[in-house]
Amino acid sequence: MKNYIKYMALSAVLLTACEAELDNPIEDGGVYSSGSADFSTFVAVGNSLTSGYADGALYITGQQNSFPKILAGQFALAGGGEFTQPLVDDNTGGLLAGGTQIQPNRFVLALDADGNPGPVRLEGTATTDITNVLSGPFNNMGVPGAKSFHLVAPGYGNIAGVATGASNPYFVRFASATDATVISDAAAQNPTFFSLWIGNNDILSFATSGGTGVDQTGNLDPSTYGANDITDPNVFASVYNSEIQALMASATGGVVFNIPDVTSIPFFTTVPFNAIPLDATTAAGVNQAYAQYNGGLAQYAALGLITAEERDARTINFQEGQNAVVIEDETLTTLPNPAGGTLPNIRQATAADLLLLTTSSKLGTLADPGNPSSVIGVGVALGDADVLIPEEQALIATAQASYNATIQGLTQANGLAFVDSRAILNQLADTGISFDAGTLTSTFATGGAFSLDGVHPTPRGYAYLANQAIGAINTTYGSTIPKVNIGSYGTVNISN
């Protein structure tokens, strides 16, 4: 019996000895260095971009490919610890509050009857109910929809405020208490390393609303802001600084991201301004319908009520071929209509106008099914909420430039790693970024970088951002964290 045991032990030794072992195994640690950073407790703070939100929803596989999750996977090679996320309950996306759906399901790419692919909301029942509060803490503190000042707002996770918009259903799911703030829940974990990407929604909600919100520059009380307003740059600077300080209280370092240009994301660049194809006969007919409007403009210009420039900009002219969409522009001069009331404040779009992705399903359809001349974009103008006109873009750009100056200043002041996501997204939009199986671009649905909501990245897009963060971290802290291969990350999901 003794011998038997001895031989058993010997065989075990022999079998173990035959396991192939590399000379310098990554698995045993020691291959990569964390430099002067300590990745043992990594906490990611931010909005939807931090949460792994994609395809217009938060769903499990999206969260599993969030950029902080990808980062944490690489940090684990150099002392990084566990990384927990407040995972939702399914891959359907969508949220329920007490059984009632309050956020829609995710988009998937499906083929229509003609075999053309397009985004549709996935059918199925959402199961993630925000009344089911998870017990944290969670390393991923990304809250979809959060603006800079929301992270420091007590009660942002209080379910009582969801219906009125005072709180956030995603934070309700994992706030430590009804009066907790996102930043206090993050800081309470004593992060040794953090990421912060916040401020996008401070301009983006204005942009995606077609500029229907208010530029609150000068108003220092964010509690008075509407959901689609632009945050005052001083408010941003103040809360951003306090967030950095709260995280730096325990951290050895962190990585921060600046705010990309809205013009670099497909939500604003996919629908062309001249999306209306017409034949000569139809064009002539449409011009006939606008003859009175055009004539009125000419008269008001002659009278000096509007400039010749405004007259030219507003004069509607359709031709055979591709034509610019007719849009509402609230900055145009309001003119009396000889027939009563006022003339519509409309003009044809130019390349400087950004038509929202959501107009793609409206353009060319009839506003009034009984009226064949009510084609949206031709006989009926696209509304203010459908288009981001240059004046609105300018408000956004001004606020964005100020936010980015704040971010960069605080980056330098605190010795943080900095990801110029603005430059990265511009590069994706302009030339694309090549990888080992092609080129990643911003082109909607097919470019690979952006998910089907046109705003949030795909897993591959998030992986690319994670790689840029790793590069910045290695440079700043002298670490040697390896990058991931973005070709191993998925793009848009097809469903058939």
Partner 1 sequence: MKRVLVTSLFLLASAITFAGGYRVGLQGQRALAMGHTGVAYVNSAELAFFNPAGLVFLENKINASAGGFGVFSSVAWQNEGTGQYAQTDSPMSTPFYLYGSYALNENISLGLAVYTPYGSTVEWPTDWAGSHLVNNIELAAIFIQPLVSFKISDKFSVGGGPIFVTGNVNFNRNANRFLTDLEGNRSNVTIDDSGVTNWGYSVGAMFKVTEDFTLGANYRSEIILESKDGTATFANFPNDSGAPITVGTTTIPSNGTTGFTASLPLPAELTVGGSYSKDKWVVNFDYTRTFWDVYEDLDIVFSNGQESINPRNYKNSSIYKVGFGYSASERIMLRAGYYFDESPVQSGYFAPETPRNDSNGFTAGLSYVISDSFAIDASFLYVRFKEINESYDYVDDGSSFGGTYKSSAFVPGIGLTYKL
71 or 183: CB nearest partner 1: 71
Q: Where does this chain touch partner 1 (CB under 8 A) — which range of 24-32, 293-301, 374-382, 425-433?
A: 24-32
- Closest CB to partner 1 among residues 298, 484: 484
Which CA distances in Å does 78 have to 139, 248, 479?
17, 21, 9
Shortest reach from residue 327's CB to partner 1, in Å = 30
b vs e for 170-190, b when ≥16 Cβ sit within 10 Å of the residue's Cβ? Answer: bbbbbbbebebbbbbbbbebe
Minimum CB separation from partner 1 for residue 317, in Å?
A: 36
If the CB atoms of residues 34 and 208 are measured against partner 1, the closer one turns out to be 34
CA distance 495 to 107: 10
Least separation in angstroms between CB 307 and partner 1: 46
Closer to partner 1 by CB, 116 or 281: give it: 116
485 binds partner 1 (CB under 8 A): yes
Name the minimum Å distance from CB 257 to partner 1: 22
| Residue closer to partner 1 (CB basis): 342 or 495 | 495
Q: Given the complex with partner 1, which of 115 and 218 has the nearer CB atom?
A: 115
Least distance between partner 1 and beta carbon 78 (Å): 9
What gap in Å lies between CA 253 and CA 242, rounded to an integer?
A: 16
25 φ/ψ angles, rounded to the nearest 5 degrees: -70, 130
Minimum distance between the CB of residue 492 and partner 1, rounded to whole angstroms? 9
Q: How far is the CB of 468 from partner 1 (least distance, A)?
A: 15
Nearest to 231 by CA among 459, 342, 464, 395: 395
Select the span of 137-145, 208-216, 300-308, 483-491 touching partner 1 (CB under 8 A).
483-491
Helix crossing, 459-477 with 67-75: angle to 10°?
50
Q: How near is the Cβ of 441 to partner 1 at its closest, in Å?
A: 13
Contact segment (CB under 8 A) with partner 1 among 166-174, 185-193, 412-420, 479-487 equals 479-487
What's the sign of the alpha-carbon dihedral 220, 222, 226, 229? positive
Distance CA 169, CA 97 (A): 8
In this chain, which of 1, 2, 5, 18 binds partner 1, going by CB under 8 A? 18
**Shortest Cβ distance from residue 15 to partner 1 (Å)?**
6
Candidate residues 48, 181, 474, 493; the one interacting with partner 1 per rule CB under 8 A: 493
- 61 binding partner 1? (CB under 8 A): yes
Per-residue mark of binding to partner 1, 84-123 (x: CB under 8 A): -------x----------------xx-x---x-x----x-
Confirm or reject binding of residue 9 to partner 1 (CB under 8 A).
Answer: no
Which of 8, 9, 10, 394 binds partner 1 (CB under 8 A)? It is: 10
Q: With b meaning 16 or more CB within 10 Å and e meaning fewer, what string describes 230-254?
A: bbbbebbbbbbeebbebbbebbbbb
Site string for partner 1, 27-56 (x = CB under 8 A): x---xx------------------------
Site string for partner 1, 144-163 (x = CB under 8 A): --------------------
Q: How far is the CB of 368 from partner 1 (least distance, A)?
A: 35
Nearest Cα residue to 66 out of 84, 40, 90, 80: 84
Q: Which is nearer to partner 1, 403 or 444 (CB)?
A: 444
Place of tokens 């790793």: 470
Q: Which residues on neighbouring strands pair with residue 54, listed in sequence order?
A: 57
Token pair, residue 110, equals 């499906």
Out of 1, 15, 339, 351, name the contact with partner 1 by CB under 8 A.
15
Q: Between 39 and 403, whose beta carbon lies closer to partner 1?
A: 39
Positions in the binding site for partner 1 (CB under 8 A): 10, 14-15, 17-23, 25-27, 31-32, 60-61, 64, 74, 77, 91, 108-109, 111, 115, 117, 122, 436-438, 446, 459-460, 481-485, 487-491, 493-496
